[in-house]
Amino acid sequence: MVFIKLVFGDAQNMSELSNNSVHLVVTSPPYFNAPYDFPDWYITYDNYLKLLKNVGKEIMRVLKPGRHVCFVVMDVRIGEKLYPIVSDLIHMYVYELGFEYQERIIWRKPDTYIRISRRSGTLLRFPYPLYYYPDHIYEEIVVFKKPGEIDKNAIPSNIKERSKVNIDKFQREKWYLDVWDIQNVAPQEKWQKYAAVYPEEIPERLITLYSYVGETVLDPFLGTGTTCVSARKLDRNCVGYEIDLDLKDVIIERLKPFLNTLSGKAELQIIERSDAKHIRSRVNEKTRKIIEERLDNMRKFS
């Protein structure tokens, strides 16, 4: 029986999972205090890094040796300060937690979705040196590996064939490059209004390249459920941790069409822990208005 397990609680504690039980981790952690997403939620940058480190300790415990962890992350600018999240994550996971640094892929978004913003528009108002703040059109996919080896010969031949990478697609879409040109999720997309959503194509590529049919994919920052949707499309099991109970109905709604796939009916298990929180509903009215204003402006140009 294939399965989907949803745990509403803090992924710094993944006691529901046993040691060496997960084949792949694919996740996109929340942006640090991003003005439109989680303003002031983490209090300090050190507090945010501590969260990533504690989750990393649990990932190291539950991940099988020789298997991979894929983070979709980006540096975040708050005011005039740019926080080096990507480099700090790499240093922490390699030199403090003991993962091996495997790959670094650039997810490049089409520049047509960007219009001059208040950040980059600063130079238009003040066309002088020291007023340059570019807009972001990329994020980074950082891939780590837990030390150890995999016996690929032990994987059944029928599983290998079912998991085979489509070479035509691999070449046509240029997966072989370390820059992936992938359309971002449009602001009018249904799920985008609940949280920052990354396109399904990203976890689908990573799951295809780093796991086999029937294996288990973990997302410790599940958000609206994109990773689990992609895992079920590709006939993998999925475990997702999400601390925000306000996203429960959204995740379940997204997963319903994918509970039955080629590999059969999936068992859906939902666990609500006492450390789950209601975060979305706590976003203050001012921030909510900023979000709505940003989306309205983006829709005008979409």
Give tens-digit pLDDT for 134-180: 888 899 999 999 999 999 999 999 999 999 999 999 999 999 999 99
CA 33 to chain centre: 16
Q: Quick one: fold of 2-301?
A: Rossmann fold (3.40.50)
Q: Which pair of structure tokens corresponds to residue 248?
A: 């429960």
Phi, psi of 277 (to 5 degrees): -135, 160
d(CA 213, CA 158): 10
Give percent of the chain above pLDDT 70.
Answer: 80
d(CA 296, CA 203): 28
> What mean pLDDT is predicted for residues 51-70?
98
Q: Which pair of structure tokens corresponds to residue 235?
A: 């006939």
Residue 261, pLDDT score: 59
Q: Which has the higher per-residue pLDDT, 92 or 197? A: 92
68-79: pLDDT as tens digits:
999 999 998 887
User: What distance separates the 2 farthest-apart alpha carbons in the chain?
Assistant: 63
* Lowest-pLDDT range of 9-23, 25-39, 83-97: 25-39
Residue 136, pLDDT score: 81
Prediction pTM value: 0.87
Q: Which has the higher per-residue pLDDT, 286 or 120? A: 120
Q: Which has the higher per-residue pLDDT, 180 or 290? A: 180
d(CA 216, CA 229): 13
Residue 2, pLDDT score: 72
Q: Which has the higher per-residue pLDDT, 271 or 194? A: 271
Domain locations in the chain as residue ranges: 2-301
Phi, psi of 103 (to 5 degrees): -150, 160
> What mean pLDDT is predicted for residues 214-228?
96
Computed over every residue of the chain, the mean pLDDT equals 86
